[in-house]
Chains A and B, each alone.
Chain A
């Protein structure tokens, strides 16, 4: 039993705590009374049109030399113009800082002429010295090549003969425009920074793009201000703001509630759920990712040392082709992706129509289980008693690795396993986490797994990682960036040819041949190019520019077009960035009730106690 002294102490403590709680909660409560509509305090902020985008992305840095995550690199596309831009039309090279360019005969020297009178967001002139400075930093300081070092690896030297001319000398001839995809930074700012490789660059940035970073609060928001000096002209809105939502379902609710104006990367279910919401428009556009089933053709290092645990059977191209013939990608697209995508032919997405393997290419085959069975029969695999094919006492049993957290992969495998059984191939599905999966893929410790990449408008890089040169250098799978362990000397010869083919028509033809060759060799079965599923508050904003212009996407473009032209809707209610007042009133009322109730309760109790004691 407690002593009277202790009960008093406890009570004093309790009262103290109650007072403290009341003080904390009363502060907001009085705020409702004093400022019923907090908009009043916002002033100029409220009248500015802010376009708010929900995001869950990581931010490593806003330093364009080192940033590698999608969200900051997307923002950097808006902040810093590059010499050459990927067009909205189809991603082909178009004017950036450069108004025009020409190459010498063998494509080793590229000369660019800049637009006149361009200015940084702080009013300083943009000259070729800025570009020369940026490129040379990346070429000479390894740390500054973290993000885009691969884009300058072929650069020999950069010259700036006058303010409006820039010359890039390459070591090898190059067909893809060397001036694209590299953000150009202002020399007058960056040359004063002591250690550019660790500079965060996260507030009051000086840029050349349509929007420049104003402020960044980790895991809360990113604010970009419109740049009135942008050479294409100032945007029609004042601010772009990324708002953090860890959870994609929360993003959908935020759009419904009007807390944000734009969401992207929706699942088909979320997309469907937003289709009949007032004031919201959904948009499904051709994305720039491909999805595929990667098949282990037998890995080897650049020096020809075989490694990995891939099935012997898969080294036979006929078996790999049979897997393709036995897979109905149309059904997968319709049922797993609910039709939100385009059937794939290769690892170059259909959103780059110049390059993607044409569906009517002679190499392309359809779903044909009988042909698959014939292929396997021809390769010497005969059906055993259990329906699984055998050859020389070995069963045609393959492992399929799937990511346990990826419902798409789980759904695909539910279709895939019976299809394979149908042609006499036994599939053992092994479900694991994505890190294990990625480690196994690197070490070639698989028969099949699902893969996918986001692809840039120029196909050179994606083709390059399918050459023998990009095979791993170590027998543990490290030291290379090979896509599927593919190596075909004929493919490599064509790769070198397209790399320096300056005639675009001829280059297209070579690329088609390469993709057809890779298709026939079947180191992967490209399943689909998933659509980007997006939704926005059409009651507030419209005027998005798609890439590609026909049926493309708004966010995650290989360019800055999506939000460049967005404008407030005439007569539409633009956002104030304020949360619902109803919530505030409820919180306020509850707090007031609790406080009043508490006071009454305490008084009542004191009276009762007085009666007894």
Chain B
């Protein structure tokens, strides 16, 4: 069977072999370790989220007031409003107190709470990256198992190399090319945003409007990321194919197609599950580029604008949220793996 075991599970494997112990105790211990690790990472992210942006050069007020006709009194007032006149430790205490209530303070630019901005921009990102993730995973896994089953064939070579070409293409470039060809020149799809300037008011029309705005960004995201699912599935299945149980299955007289679908693929899927969850976190973080090209009103674009601001509370907020998503996804990957693979559980 596959030896693609995530590093995080190797500790458990040794532990499992060590001694017989009550089954649920080891399970609790496993979950506690994983949860504790995630909580620790999150705590570090929160602390880093403060200091990483505090050591950035420059005075946010000076940047905001750059080339504007302002008196120094006006600038002092802004500094006071942003709480920048307080000593650093005081700002840190305030920040910590706020983060635990999911309050990242008020955005310098939007003059509104970071929490409300993030919750407002969160769902468009989930819609876009969620759709792209489902399609990329489905396409990647499907093509991956086909390619593996016929590995070495022309089909395999073509599918693998195409995906690798897309994978190596810069997202920004691919997005812009699609935008220019299908948006500007052919005018088949809208050139940006999530809705038309005056969207249809009926729900179906509005859904269609959003769907047509999603096409180009989704294609861009899928094209760039499906290769990683394809390659993992392909290598996992190729390894699986040499296993004895497949020979047994064939010997039973099962059709080749069924052997692949019913016996080989489900087992080969195991290592891909963890990777899918790990990649999902990355995919959401990767939304920054795609959302910026297609002016999609999501967290990625919000982050891009926070950087250009620079809007420190907003940057801190998006940084913590993105990091939290990745940490949670990795945690889910660990937990699911344990559920799916009996070897991790066996004790």
Contacts and interface: CB of A to CB of B under 8 A. Distances in A.
B62 A58 contact: no
Interface stretch (B31-39, B92-100, B304-312): B304-312
Interface stretch (B3-11, B159-167, B259-267, B276-284): B259-267
A230 to B, nearest CB: 23
Most buried by A among B117, B185, B197: B197
A435 B63 contact: yes
B301 A439 contact: no
A38 B77 contact: no
A152 to B, nearest CB: 11
A398 B254 CA distance: 80
Most buried by A among B56, B111, B134, B201: B111
Contacts of B245: 1
Given A435-B57, A436-B58, A439-B62, A580 B187 contact: yes
Contacts of A15: none
Interface string B50-87: 00000011110011111111111111011001000000
B298 to A, nearest CB: 9
Contacts of B72: 473, 478-481
Contacts of A434: 63
A72 to B, nearest CB: 10
B44 interface: no
B13 interface: no
Contacts of B204: 27-28, 30-31, 34-35
A241 B191 CA distance: 16
B211 interface: yes
B212 interface: yes
B286 interface: no
B152 to A, nearest CB: 26
Contacts of B309: 58
Interface string A514-537: 000000000000000000000000
A243 B198 CA distance: 10
Interface string A429-449: 000011110110010000000
- By size class, the interface of chain B is 35 or more
A7 B67 contact: no
Contacts of A408: none
B317 to A, nearest CB: 15
A142 B79 CA distance: 13
B69 A153 contact: no
Interface in A572-613: 576-580, 582-584, 586-588, 612
Contact of A253 (B75, B117, B184): B184
Contacts of A143: 77, 81
Contacts of A494: none
A222 to B, nearest CB: 10
Contacts of A68: 64-65, 68, 70
Given A31-B205, A256-B185, A439-B59, A250 B69 contact: no
Most B CB within 10 A of own CB, among A10, A31, A68, A583 = A583
A71 to B, nearest CB: 11
Interface string A58-77: 11110000101100000000
B58 A246 contact: no
Contacts of B77: 142-143, 145-146, 149
B292 A247 contact: yes
A102 interface: no
Nearest to B112: A200
B190 interface: yes
Interface residues on A, range: 35 or more
A153 B73 CA distance: 10
B336 interface: no
Given A41-B205, A243-B193, A253-B180, A442 B198 contact: no
B179 A41 contact: no
Q: Indicate the member of B57, B112, B120, B215 with the most A CB atoms within 10 Å.
A: B57
Contacts of B58: 435-436, 438-439
B192 interface: yes
B69 A579 contact: no
Contact of B179 (A221, A249, A479): A249
B197 A481 contact: no
Contact of B78 (A146, A253, A454): A146
B213 A579 contact: yes
A435 B184 contact: no
A10 B57 contact: no
A557 interface: no
B189 interface: yes
Contact of A220 (B62, B258, B293, B297): B297
B191 A246 contact: no
B190 A250 contact: no
Contacts of B193: 220, 243-245
Contacts of B301: 219, 246
Contacts of A578: 196, 198
B208 interface: yes
12 contacts: A1-B263, A30-B204, A66-B111, A143-B77, A244-B297, A246-B305, A253-B180, A254-B192, A438-B58, A438-B59, A580-B189, A582-B187
Interface of B: 56-59, 62-75, 77-78, 81, 109-112, 117, 120-121, 134, 176, 179-180, 183-198, 200-202, 204-205, 207-213, 215, 245, 254-255, 258, 262-263, 266-267, 291-295, 297, 301-302, 304-305, 309-310
Given A68-B68, A150-B71, 5 more contacts: A250-B294, A252-B184, A259-B190, A433-B57, A438-B63
Q: Which 8 pairs from chain A and chain B are nearest by CB?
A: A253-B184, A435-B58, A577-B198, A31-B204, A579-B190, A254-B191, A31-B208, A38-B200
